[in-house]
Copies of this chain bind each other. A is one copy, B any other.
């Protein structure tokens, strides 16, 4: 497997399906691990870091799960290729900035990836479509156990797994899910939900993790604490909260369809109209409008159009993907032109949204008088 196979397979990524995937787009569990008697990557001398990298790499590649995997040292990738891996959520932004002595191993089905010498010696993650954090946990737990047979991880009886940053100390686990919550955003309940989730000791972040914006009504919910609870408890607790958020989002959508259909159709119709007819569009606007199109698809406003088309558009309209498809580095302005060309052309196959009669539109004014 080489990088080009990954890069040329956005369709495969877009077509993966999982439970509750109208609302939960993906589930992820990652573990932070470090080798005993070796300084953390940020403190290690280069030769030490390179030695650690080779040792870890060898052990990772030995595992059954990693047959036919893609592996690389970071300096072998172009900036654009690294950005593509970030856009696919395979590596972190921080890891994209690394060069030799740091690397990546990615399983053939792209469900498991191991960043070597990011902040810790190992950051291994399982990434699955839909609401599958339990499966993701079982997958990465098994992977971790197998790996531990060949590598000795830094571990203290008192503190658990040792990590470069104390926020990961203990289990070293970060469990997260990417949620699409346009219903809660449009009905202005999102801040309330975020506050409630925060109170439960969970973090809510934007599309690319810590410190990033919530583009396209996408929110990443994850555990904050890694200490004092077992991995199983953390996963179980997050799963419960996720199911509740899914419930709230479903209710918000039903309520919008019921009480403010026109407002909903207005947002979705305009999003479609702009995406299908613009001749220049930024990636931010694209993400926000595709989010609404996806919502329209979820509520049957685009019969005959597959969810995978929107998923694919969300992937391939991002800056690095767009540049790779057009042979190299482009100015933001040129990207905006090419992005709109791509969207217009792909959305030709999508008819104007249908306002289904079965969605039984009540008189919007009436319900507003009551409200």
Q: Which residue from chain B places its CB closest to the CB of A355 in the assembled complex?
A: B279
Q: How far is the CA of A268 from the CA of B203 in the complex (A)?
A: 42
Q: How far is the CA of A274 from the CA of B277 in the complex (A)?
A: 9
| Binary interface encoding of chain A residues 271-305 relative to chain B, with 1 for a CB under 8 A from any of its CBs, else 0 | 01111111110000000000000000000000000
**Which residues on the B side are within 8 Å of A333 (C-beta)?**
365
**Which residues on the B side are within 8 Å of A276 (C-beta)?**
273, 352
Q: How far is the CA of A270 from the CA of B276 in the complex (A)?
A: 8
Binds B, one of A187-195, A246-254, A259-267: A259-267
B277 adjacent to A353 (CB under 8 Å)? yes
Decide if A172 is an interface residue (CB 8 Å cutoff). no
A186 to chain B, nearest CB (A): 13
Residue in contact with A272 in the complex, picked from B263, B273, B275, B280, CB distance below 8 Å: B273
Q: Which residue from chain B places its CB closest to the CB of A352 in the assembled complex?
A: B277
**Which residues on the B side are within 8 Å of A265 (C-beta)?**
279
Q: Size class of A's contact patch?
A: 20 to 34
The interface residues of chain A, by DSSP majority, are classed as helix
Decide if A132 is an interface residue (CB 8 Å cutoff). no
**Which residues on the B side are within 8 Å of A266 (C-beta)?**
278-280, 340
Decide if A364 is an interface residue (CB 8 Å cutoff). yes
A269 adjacent to B263 (CB under 8 Å)? no
| Binary interface encoding of chain A residues 320-341 relative to chain B, with 1 for a CB under 8 A from any of its CBs, else 0 | 0000000000010110010010
Q: How many copies of this chain are found per oligomer?
A: 2
**Which residues on the B side are within 8 Å of A365 (C-beta)?**
331, 333-334
A122 to chain B, nearest CB (A): 44
Q: How far is the CA of A248 from the CA of B89 in the complex (A)?
A: 52
Residue in contact with A280 in the complex, picked from B262, B280, B337, B352, CB distance below 8 Å: B262
Q: How far is the CA of A272 from the CA of B352 in the complex (A)?
A: 12
Q: How far is the CA of A312 from the CA of B365 in the complex (A)?
A: 28
Q: Which residue from chain B places its CB closest to the CB of A348 in the assembled complex?
A: B352
Q: How far is the CA of A365 from the CA of B280 in the complex (A)?
A: 13
A76 to chain B, nearest CB (A): 31
Q: Which residue from chain B places its CB closest to the CB of A365 in the assembled complex?
A: B334
Q: Which residue from chain B places its CB closest to the CB of A266 in the assembled complex?
A: B279
A364 adjacent to B337 (CB under 8 Å)? yes
Q: How far is the CA of A346 from the CA of B156 in the complex (A)?
A: 72
A262 to chain B, nearest CB (A): 5
Residue in contact with A278 in the complex, picked from B273, B275, B344, B355, CB distance below 8 Å: B273
Task: Please name 11 pairs of A and B residues whose Cβ atoms are closer than 8 Å in the assembled complex, sorted by A.
Answer: A266-B278, A266-B279, A266-B340, A269-B277, A272-B273, A272-B277, A273-B275, A273-B276, A277-B352, A279-B355, A333-B365
